Chain A
Amino acid sequence: MKAVHKAADIIGLGLHSLVVHLGRSALTALGIVFAVWSVIAMLAINEGFSYEAQQALRELGSDNIIIESAKPPDMESKASQDSGGILRYGLLHADVRRLRGNVPGIRRCVTVHRTIKYGYRPGRNLRVSVIATEPTYADVARIETTRGRFLSAADLIRQKAHCVITESLARRLFPVEDPLGKTLRLGEEPFTVIGVLAKLPPALAGEGGEMGSHVIIPITSGKMRFGEYTIMFGTGGGTAELVEVSQIILQMDDEKAVLHGANISRHLIGRFHEQEDYEIKVPLELIEQQKKQRRLWNIMFLTIASISLVVGGIGIMNIMLASVTERTREIGVRRALGAKRRDIVTQFLVESVTLTTVGGLIGIGIGLLVPSLVEWMLKLRTIVSAATLLLPLGMAIAVGLVAGLYPAFRAARLDPIVALRHE
């Protein structure tokens, strides 16, 4: 019981002398305040950024392997000479067959053909992205219709002129009437709207046409009505591109199958493509990469923070040494009246740890404010977690302990006789 009282009293003593020298204490703690709030701000911005990035990757689906056609950068000049102006590149139907036949653990395989068309309604028109695909697209893209229905197997088999449109497009083309059952002309071909979607994940479906608009039609209907050529009219005539398949989405049974399947797909497609006219995205791998990157940045920020904390700690140590010298006589008196060495150590340690702890807490206060400011001014997402707050605080407390040790032991080592005579 006595020891508890004494400990509490000695802590009170340390706090007391900080209050007595309030101005000096505040200035000393300032370094720690800055170090703590800056690391909180940095961590919050990094966490927010990586959350956004991960979110985009999650939209791709972590059980998916996505293979997309990509125009090789040096193709334009080469192809126009030997194939009469038709650029032929990208994934082939043969690739789809090979993948289906050889990659183990596929739950769904969805083929997509993408083009840009003009969508017409009487009095209105705008460029839309046409996604010609299969009914299972809804499952791999994790989308649901808010009105009507999605494409069915029957639509696919019968090559129906049915389409599903996004909510934003519906609002644009059908501002007052119910779009369901209405006709929408894509290029020259009329399609009947059978469903409306809230939103398509842009990471999977691409940016879309004007206003981020997408129209989804059965892939069979697209092939029959539009073919697989995309004709583009530029200056001095037109060019045509032939892309058999824009995107293949493999939905796998589980995560293990994803990593294994991704490797097989790479070999399988790589063997039959001479040029780099495709791109394989594995969200699971990308998420892992993103996590690694996030850790790396966090470590970097914490390293920077520790440097500024050390600088702050040196300031604390300096002021504590000055305090010990200034109070040598007091230390002598306390020792003469019965203070043990460890009582003196405790007194000065409490002082330095309190300085950094209070500094850390003020830093947390500012650190909570700054991310909201960043969010408001720079429109960046920030995330402040408990760990983001507590880690710098813990570091600040540790700095106080380390910076206080040397001055405290120096104070305790003073010979009471010499200390009492100190002027």
Chain B
Amino acid sequence: MTELVRLDNLWKVYYVGTTSVPALRGVSLTIREGEYVAVMGPSGSGKSTLLNVLGCLDRPTGGHYWLGDRDVSLLSDNQLSDVRNERIGFVFQSFNLIQQLTILQNIEVPLFYQGLPRRERHPWSRRLAEMVGLGDRMHHRPRELSGGQQQRVAIARALANDPLILLADEPTGNLDTATSTEILALFDELHSRGRTIIMVTHEEHVAAHTQRTIRLRDGGIESDVHKGAEARA
């Protein structure tokens, strides 16, 4: 399996006034294609920061980050936009759909910024809507949908650009248990089709769906457990 993500002694330091607050202290890890990874840790452990850096929303203060074949730790704002646009899919806790757009238009947003003409966007986004089971709701607005349905739209949107990695930030945090199970099933299905997924969560039962759990504490990796290895041990 090829390496998709490689972090090499990654530091992220925030400066508040004159004091510096390190959020990540030399994190190194690799994630291979097709892995399903959970990132866990108490609040303040640096998991949000790690997700922001992985998602190219934030630049590391030190160290290197290879995403696919490219070192993205030193890119400009514009280049990072392109990387996010082409290589990363985001799923947020609060769905973050654009309210005045229809479901179909929401799914198309990443393609829109790729400059894909409408003719080419439509068939693809239709297929994605159907894939997440919302083929009959394509022209509705987000607020007409239930939370679970909205999260499905968000997942379809995250897949629109066929990303290298799918980043999910507490994707079931705003959902009830039954809906959470549906959404997690969808992630499982994506994983079984070979999608690389990195999911931040603080719930053990969510992490149980993944193959590998990385626990952070105080900006460093506390443990990194592969389920297969655990079983073997």
Closest to B77 in A: A341
Contact between A337 and B157, CB atoms less than 8 A apart: yes
Is B58's CB within 8 Å of the partner chain A?
A: yes
**Chain A contact residues: over half helix, strand or loop, or mixed?**
helix
Is A296's CB within 8 Å of the partner chain B?
A: no
Interface residues of A toward B: which range? Answer: 20 to 34
Residues of A within 8 A of B58 (CB): 417
Nearest CB of B to A332, in Å? 8
Is A365's CB within 8 Å of the partner chain B?
A: no
Is A9's CB within 8 Å of the partner chain B?
A: yes
Contact between B96 and A5, CB atoms less than 8 A apart: no
Known contacts: A338-B110, A340-B78, A416-B57. The answer to whether A333 contacts B115 by CB under 8 A is no
Nearest CB of B to A157, in Å? 90
Contact between A336 and B57, CB atoms less than 8 A apart: yes
Q: Which one of B52, B78, B85, B97 contacts A341 once the chains associate, using CB atoms below 8 Å?
A: B78
Residues of B within 8 A of A329 (CB): 96
Nearest CB of A to B51, in Å? 10
Nearest CB of A to B69, in Å? 19
Closest to A3 in B: B115
Contact between B81 and A340, CB atoms less than 8 A apart: yes
Residues of A within 8 A of B112 (CB): 6, 9
C-alpha spacing A5/B90, complex, angstroms: 24
CB interface residues, A 337-365, toward B, < 8 Å:
337-341, 343
Contact between A337 and B77, CB atoms less than 8 A apart: no
Is A330's CB within 8 Å of the partner chain B?
A: yes
CB interface residues, A 317-335, toward B, < 8 Å:
329-330, 332-335
Inter-chain residue pair count (beta carbon < 8 A): 71
Residues of A within 8 A of B96 (CB): 329, 332-333, 336, 420
Contact between A16 and B113, CB atoms less than 8 A apart: no
Closest to A343 in B: B113
Known contacts: A16-B100, A420-B92, A420-B96. The answer to whether A337 contacts B113 by CB under 8 A is yes
Contact between B57 and A6, CB atoms less than 8 A apart: no
Q: Which one of A330, A336, A340, A343 contacts B55 once the chains associate, using CB atoms below 8 Å?
A: A336
Is B86's CB within 8 Å of the partner chain A?
A: yes
Nearest CB of B to A369, in Å? 34
Residues of B within 8 A of A377 (CB): none
**A contact set with B: CB distance below 8 Å:** 2-3, 5-6, 9, 16-17, 20, 329-330, 332-341, 343, 416-417, 420
**B contact set with A: CB distance below 8 Å:** 52, 55, 57-58, 77-78, 81-82, 84-86, 90, 92, 96-100, 109-110, 112-118, 157, 161
New A-B pairs, 11, CB < 8 Å, besides A2-B115, A339-B113 = A6-B113, A20-B100, A337-B110, A337-B113, A338-B110, A338-B114, A340-B82, A341-B81, A416-B57, A417-B52, A420-B92
A-B contact pairs, 24 of them (CB 8 A): A5-B115, A5-B116, A5-B117, A6-B114, A9-B112, A17-B100, A329-B96, A330-B99, A332-B96, A333-B98, A336-B55, A336-B84, A336-B90, A336-B96, A337-B84, A337-B90, A337-B113, A338-B84, A338-B85, A338-B110, A339-B85, A340-B113, A417-B57, A417-B58
